[in-house]
A and B are shown apart, each in its own frame.
Chain A
Amino acid sequence: MCIVYLVALIFCITKVRCSSNTSKLIEDSSQSFTERMKTGKTSFIYFGNHVNPTIKLFLDQLEMSADALEDYGISVVKVNCSKETIAKYCTGEKLITKTYLLRGSEVLRSFDIDTVFDVSAIVSHVLFTVLYNEVRYVHTPAELLQVENAAKQMRDVVVGHIPVLGLPEHRALMEAAFVYGTKYQFVQTTGGPLLKHMGVDDLSVSKARLWFLHCKDMSRQMDQCPFTPMRKPLDTINIHTFLQLMEARLVTEANVDPSEVDMVHNHLNVPVLYLFSHPQTKRLDRATAQTLALQLRGEVGVVLIHRDSTDVKTPLQYNAAYRLPQEDVKYFTLNSAEEVMKLFKEELLQDYKMVEDEEENEEHWSDLEILDDEVSESVYRDRDLMLDLESITELTSDNFQSEVTQNKITVVLFYFKWDAVCMAFMQTYIQVADALEGVSGLVLAAVDCGEWTNICSDRDVTSFPFIMIYRPMEAPQPYRGMLGTESLQRFILLSQISGPVRLSSSADVLSFLEGDLYSKHADLSSIRVLGLFTSTLDTGVTSFKEAAKLLRGEAILGLFVHREAEKWVEGLSVNLPAVLLSRGSEVSREAYYLPSFSVNDLVSLVQRAVSDPFPELTVENLPWYLELEKPLLLLFVGKEYSTETSLTEMKHLLSSGQLPSFLPCWIHLGRTPVGRSVLEKYLGFVPPLPALVMSQLSTGGEVFLFPRERPLKAKNILQWLQSVENRDEHPAGVIPDTKWSPPVPVYDFLATMDQEAPGYASQRDPKMKTGAKEGHRDQDMTPNQRQTTHSSPKPQAPHEHSEL
Chain B
Amino acid sequence: MSPIQRLFWLLCVLNLVLATSSGSDPHGSNDTLSHEYCVLGAGPAGLQMGYFLSMRQRDYIILERNSGPGSFFNIYPRHKKLISINKIYTGRRNREFNLRHDWNSLLSDRPDLLFQRISRELYPNADDYPRYLSLFEQELGLKVKYGVDIGRIKALGFRGDQGYVLTDQNGVRYQCRVLLVATGLWVPQQVDFLGSDLVEGYESIPTDPEEFKDQAVLILGKGNSAFETAQSILGRASRIHLYSPSPVRLAWQTHYVGDLRAVNNELLDTYQLKSLDGLVEGRLDDIAIVRRVNNEGKRRTGNKTSGKSLKAKEQLYLTLSELLDNQNGNKSSNVTAQNLPGYHTDNFSLRQPYDRVIRCLGFRFNFSIFDGSAQPPQCSGARGRLPGVTAWYEGRGTPNLFVLGTAAHSRDYRLSAGGFIHGFRYTVRAVHKVLEQRYHNIAWPATKLPISQLQSWILKRVNEASGPYQMFALLGDIILLRGSHCEYLEEFPLQALSQLSALSGRHVSEHGLMVLVMQYGLNHTDTLGPGRAESEWTKAWRSNFLHPVLYYYKTLPTEKDMRQRPVGWPLPRPEAVHHMVEDFLTEWDQPISHSQPLRRFLEYCLQTDLRPFYAESCFLMSLTSRNPPVFCRQGYLKKQGILGNSHLWQHAREAGLMPDHQGDVPPDTSVPEYLTHAGAAVVSRINFDL
Contact = CB atoms under 8 A, between A and B. Distances in A.
Interface in A631-690: 632, 638-640, 669-670, 672-678, 680-682, 686, 688-689
Given A380-B591, A416-B460, A418-B595, A764 B281 contact: no
A453 B685 contact: no
6 contacts: A427-B645, A454-B95, A464-B456, A676-B677, A783-B281, A793-B286
B570 to A, nearest CB: 12
With most chain B CB atoms within 10 A of its CB, the pick from A95, A626, A676, A761 is A676
Given A737-B625, A764-B567, A780-B245, A484 B603 contact: no
A702 B575 CA distance: 39
A453 B463 CA distance: 11
Closest 5 CB pairs of A and B: A484-B643, A778-B381, A418-B589, A746-B604, A742-B603
B453 to A, nearest CB: 5
Contacts of A624: 639
A373 B682 contact: no
B629 A114 contact: no
Interface string A410-424: 000000111111001
Interface stretch (B24-32, B300-308, B505-513, B648-656): B648-656
A39 interface: no
A112 B566 CA distance: 65
B638 A376 contact: no
A396 B641 contact: no
Given A677-B659, A798-B282, 18 more contacts: A112-B674, A117-B678, A376-B612, A397-B93, A450-B460, A481-B640, A483-B641, A677-B620, A677-B661, A697-B623, A738-B627, A746-B601, A777-B381, A780-B383, A790-B282, A793-B282, A799-B280, A804-B248
A688 B677 CA distance: 12
A752 to B, nearest CB: 7
B204 interface: no
A628 interface: no
A378 B655 contact: yes
B381 A738 contact: no
A787 interface: yes
A678 B620 contact: yes
Interface in A456-493: 462-464, 480-485, 487
B564 interface: yes
A667 to B, nearest CB: 9
Contacts of B607: 741-742
Nearest to A792: B283
A762 B608 CA distance: 28
With most chain B CB atoms within 10 A of its CB, the pick from A379, A483, A695 is A483
Contacts of B662: 673
With most chain B CB atoms within 10 A of its CB, the pick from A93, A397, A424, A749 is A749
Interface string A697-731: 11001000000000000000000000000000000
Interface string B577-616: 1110000000001111001110111011001111111111
A739 B350 CA distance: 75
Question: Which range holds the interface residue count of chain A?
Answer: 35 or more
Nearest to A674: B661
A801 B450 CA distance: 62
Interface of B: 92-97, 111, 245-248, 278-286, 320, 322-323, 341, 344-345, 348-350, 380-383, 413-415, 447-450, 453, 456-457, 459-460, 463-464, 522, 537-538, 540-541, 560-561, 563-569, 572-574, 576-579, 589-592, 595-597, 599-601, 603-604, 607-617, 619-620, 622-630, 636-645, 647-652, 654-655, 657-659, 661-663, 667-668, 671-675, 677-682, 684-685, 688-689
A294 interface: no
A779 B673 CA distance: 82
Contacts of A763: 561, 564-566, 572-573
A101 B674 CA distance: 20
A374 B652 contact: yes
Given A418-B595, A452-B93, A464-B453, A374 B578 contact: no
Interface of A: 54, 93, 95, 97, 112-114, 117, 163-164, 206, 368-382, 396-397, 416-421, 424-425, 427-428, 431, 449-454, 462-464, 480-485, 487, 619-620, 622-624, 626, 632, 638-640, 669-670, 672-678, 680-682, 686, 688-689, 695, 697-698, 701, 735-750, 752-753, 759-766, 770-771, 773-775, 777-778, 780-784, 787-788, 790, 792-793, 795-802, 804
Contacts of B579: 749
Given A378-B652, A622-B619, A626-B637, A680 B684 contact: yes
A697 B522 CA distance: 53
Contact of B648 (A424, A480, A482, A619): A424
A339 B287 CA distance: 69
Contacts of B447: 462
Given A626-B637, A802-B247, A482 B615 contact: yes
A798 B448 CA distance: 64
B289 to A, nearest CB: 14
A668 to B, nearest CB: 10
Contacts of B661: 673-677
Contact of B640 (A483, A742, A753): A483
Given A748-B576, A760-B566, A793-B283, A623 B639 contact: yes
Given A375-B613, A420-B591, A425-B642, A774 B381 contact: yes
A449 B620 CA distance: 32
A427 B647 contact: yes
A400 B475 CA distance: 33
A800 B283 CA distance: 12
Contacts of A745: 604
A516 B541 CA distance: 68
Nearest to B413: A778
B596 A764 contact: no
Contacts of B600: 742, 744, 746-747
Given A425-B642, A799-B341, A452 B689 contact: no
A742 B641 contact: no
Given A416-B459, A749-B579, A787 B247 contact: yes
Contacts of B648: 375, 378-379, 382, 424, 427
Contacts of A626: 622, 637
A565 B500 CA distance: 62
Contacts of B464: 450, 453
Contact of B457 (A377, A462, A620, A782): A462
A665 to B, nearest CB: 11
Contacts of B561: 763
Contact of B603 (A464, A743, A759): A743
A747 B284 CA distance: 50
A777 B412 CA distance: 11
Contacts of A623: 622, 636-639, 641
Contacts of A484: 615, 641-644
A376 B573 contact: no
B614 A375 contact: yes
Nearest to B272: A803
A62 B348 CA distance: 102
Given A54-B678, A747-B600, A424 B344 contact: no
Contact of B449 (A462, A689, A790, A793): A462
A453 B459 CA distance: 13
A84 to B, nearest CB: 23
Contacts of A487: 643
A801 B350 CA distance: 9
A526 B95 CA distance: 48
